[in-house]
Amino acid sequence: MKKITTILAMLSALVVLTGTSAKALDIKTGLSLNSMGAVANAQEQLKDQGRVTNKTDAIATTFASAFVEISSDEMMGLGFGVSYAPEVVSLNDEERNIQVAVAEPSPNAQDSGLQKIAADVDDLVNIYVTLPVGTGAYVKAGYIMATLNTKENLATGSQYPNVDMEGLSIGGGYEGELGNSMFWRAEGTYQHWDDIAASGSEAGTTGNVNKITAEIGGVTGSLSLGMKF
């Protein structure tokens, strides 16, 4: 719901810009091929054992996105835009055996077995502003949102909910013309995501639940092709 509200606010800003002189407006739309590298540091705590597992992973992925922008010469070329990528990355399945060393049967024995954890990052939205800093060059800052769709089969019987991710991006690029109505663009950005936290669906015998936290940061390089009106 928050993602929809933010997008509607962005569209309202675009409508305000369209109230300026038509000759001063540039409307652009296009497609981008993005290559992203990120580092994620995750920590999981099991509900009954209190066992904590830490893992750091490097993520590399390529995905496509679409964007639309409106800029105004009357505002020193300041532009507002929104981009959307339906699918970003499928995180590799993580498997590990959970063994509880007990001399006699224990409630913790239910936490023994094979843990399978996986997730997809989908619905990446970037709501941003751009500002020219020279002929063809520009800087860019945005508010990013995505959904972490969790897919797990836990020996503990617990499940993690999907998580809404939020963060900020900053970067810059260069844009060149291809005739009168088309353009190309090369861009680089850095993304800093807010810390992620999720709790399991079932409490253990101690009343605690599984907990997972993660920190993610990454960089993205993009090549775009678009049209202007």
**Which domains are seen in the chain, by residue range?**
2-228 (2.40.160)
Burial label, 5 (beta-carbon count in 10 A; 0-12, 13-18, 19+): exposed
Q: Give the amino acid at 160.
A: Y
The tens digit of pLDDT for each residue in 190-229 reads: 999 999 888 766 655 566 677 778 889 999 999 999 999 8
pLDDT at 146: 95
* pLDDT value at residue 55: 79
pLDDT confidence of residue 23 = 58
Listed in sequence order, the DSSP H helices in the chain are 2-17
Q: What integer pLDDT is reported at residue 81 of this predicted model?
A: 94
Does an H or E element contain 7, and which? helix 2-17
Query: pLDDT under 50 in the chain at which residues?
Result: 100-110
Amino acid at position 192, single letter: H
φ/ψ of 158, rounded to 5, equals -95, 160
Q: How far apart are the first and last CA of the chain?
A: 32
For residue 67, the model assigns a pLDDT of 97
E strand or H helix at 165, and its extent?
strand 163-178
CA distances from residue 134 to 9, 79, 122, 139 in whole angstroms, order as listed: 29, 15, 34, 10
